[in-house]
């Protein structure tokens, strides 16, 4: 039986992305994505927020989402939601263009046959989990991994989505990668893409979040989390707890409106920001522990 979903989307100004994400996440079991929109509204950059609801429960969830968005529109007009039905076959057949990132990496669709053999290739079938390297946050995470990952590092990919960051970590020399997500479709997509990349050694794919017994204190050389700023803030203490004293936490998915809150959260929990990167309205932070007691 082919799985079906109702796709709901809205083009929202930056300051309303987080509340829309919270609404979509609540009623879609965290099946959400944020995509930079080519549309501008009164000169403001917009972000397209999308979510996917199981077809069987779509009517009730859609009604609740619609009520919530109407309440936001009452406070400030952000536009109307768009709806369409998608199924598993449509997702598997979707296409994206190859993209070079950094000095070494190239993200390619599984169907491509001609490619640059000098590059480290990451083949992908996106599926219902986003992450193809085209979004600024994914690009910045990949560049940070390329710049900071050392051979035989252990890596935790928190919020693995399509598995793109897990695969890149292996390709760049990691000896072990834990891929973690709370969404069934993301876990399915991560597992499929890791298999597609012929990675078989030292992989652990978990439907979970932190804390987790498989991620003890000071166990990871690198933790990369391309997730929402609210979740980063709520997990900042645990992220610092799990990384080694010499390790690095890489976080992205942070819009300008939330960057100061994220920085404050890490600093209050014993971290220090060693680098900050930005593409358009999106930010990435590289964070280290202040000391071994964090």
56 part of a folded domain? yes
Distances (CA, A) of 254 to 12, 119, 230, 236: 15, 29, 9, 13
Q: Over the stretch 57-75, which tens digit does the pLDDT of each residue have?
A: 777 888 889 899 998 888 8
Direct distance between the N- and C-terminal alpha carbons of the chain, in angstroms, rounded to an integer: 49
Name the pairing type of β-strands 282-289 and 243-255: antiparallel
Q: Over the stretch 175-196, which tens digit does the pLDDT of each residue have?
A: 999 999 988 888 988 998 899 8
CATH number for the domain spanning 241: value is: 3.40.50.150
Domain boundary among 91, 125, 159: 91
Domain that holds residue 216: 135-289
- Predicted local confidence at residue 216, as pLDDT: 96
Same domain, 273 and 151: yes
Name the pairing type of β-strands 154-158 and 220-226: parallel
87 part of a folded domain? yes
Q: Residue by residue, what is the 3-state secondary structure of the chain?
A: CCCEEEEEEEEEEHHHHHHHHHHHHHHHCCCEEEEEEEEEECCEEEEEEEEEEEHHHHHHHHHHHHHHHHHHHHHCCCCCCEEEEEEHHHHHHCCCCCEEECCCEEEEECCCCCCCCCCEEEEECCCCCCCCCCCHHHHHHHHHHHHHCCCCCEEEEECCCCCHHHHHHHHCCCCEEEEEECCHHHHHHHHHHHHHCCCCCCEEEEECCCCCCCCCCCCEEEEEEECCHHHHHHHHHHHHHHEEEEEEEEEEEEEHHHHHHHHHHHHHCCEEEEEEEEECCEEEEEEEECCCCC
Q: 76 or 254: whose pLDDT is higher?
A: 254
Mean of pLDDT values over 265-293: 90
Which residues on neighbouring strands pair with residue 40, listed in sequence order? 45
98 part of a folded domain? no
Q: What is the pTM of this model?
A: 0.78
Q: Band of the pLDDT at 48, cuts 50, 70, 90?
A: confident
Q: 28 or 243: whose pLDDT is higher?
A: 243
Are 149 and 120 in contact by the 8 Å Cβ rule? The answer is no
Distances (CA, A) of 95 to 5, 34, 55, 125, 140: 19, 18, 23, 9, 22
Q: 71 or 266: whose pLDDT is higher?
A: 266
Q: Is the dihedral of CA 58, 61, 63, 66 positive or negative?
A: negative
Domain count, the chain: 2
Q: 278 or 51: whose pLDDT is higher?
A: 278
Residue 126 CB neighbour total at 10 angstroms: 22
Q: How many percent of the chain have pLDDT more than 90?
A: 40
- Predicted local confidence at residue 28, as pLDDT: 81
Whether 16 shows a pLDDT value over 90: the answer reads no
187 part of a folded domain? yes
Q: Over the stretch 118-170, which tens digit does the pLDDT of each residue have?
A: 788 887 775 554 555 667 888 899 999 999 999 999 999 999 988 999 999 99
Same domain, 173 and 277: yes
CATH number for the domain spanning 84: value is: 3.30.70.120
Same domain, 281 and 158: yes
- Predicted local confidence at residue 110, as pLDDT: 65
Same domain, 139 and 283: yes
Are 179 and 186 in contact by the 8 Å Cβ rule? The answer is no
Q: 2 or 221: whose pLDDT is higher?
A: 221
Same domain, 174 and 62: no
Whether 113 shows a pLDDT value over 60: the answer reads no
Same domain, 158 and 247: yes
46 part of a folded domain? yes
229 part of a folded domain? yes
106 part of a folded domain? no
Same domain, 72 and 165: no
258 part of a folded domain? yes
């Amino acid at each position: 039986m082919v799985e079906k979903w109702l796709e709901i989307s809205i083009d929202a100004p930056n300051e309303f992305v987080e509340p829309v994400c919270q609404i979509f996440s609540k009623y879609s079991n965290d099946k959400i994505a944020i995509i930079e929109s080519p549309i501008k509204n009164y000169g403001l950059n917009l972000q397209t927020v999308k979510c996917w609801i199981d077809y069987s429960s779509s009517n009730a969830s859609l009604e609740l989402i619609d009520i919530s968005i109407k309440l936001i529109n009452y406070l400030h007009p952000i536009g109307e939601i768009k709806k369409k039905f998608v199924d598993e076959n449509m997702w598997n057949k979707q296409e994206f263009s190859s993209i070079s990132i950094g000095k070494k990496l190239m993200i390619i669709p599984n169907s491509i046959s001609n490619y640059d053999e000098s590059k480290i290739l990451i083949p992908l079938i996106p599926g219902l989990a986003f992450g193809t390297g085209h979004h600024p946050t994914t690009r910045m995470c990949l560049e940070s991994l390329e710049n900071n990952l050392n051979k035989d590092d252990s890596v935790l990919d928190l919020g693995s989505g399509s598995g793109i960051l897990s695969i890149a970590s292996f390709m760049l020399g990691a000896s072990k990668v834990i891929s973690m997500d709370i969404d069934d479709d993301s876990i399915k997509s991560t597992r499929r893409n890791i298999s597609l990349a012929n990675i078989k050694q030292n992989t652990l794919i978990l439907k979970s979040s932190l804390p987790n017994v498989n991620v003890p204190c000071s166990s990871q050389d690198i933790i990369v989390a391309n997730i929402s700023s609210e979740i980063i803030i709520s997990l900042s203490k645990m992220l610092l707890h799990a990384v080694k004293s010499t390790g690095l936490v890489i976080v992205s998915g942070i819009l300008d409106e939330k960057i100061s809150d994220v920085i404050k959260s890490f600093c209050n929990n014993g971290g220090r920001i060693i680098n900050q990167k930005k593409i358009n309205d999106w930010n990435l932070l590289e964070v280290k522990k202040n000391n071994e007691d964090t």
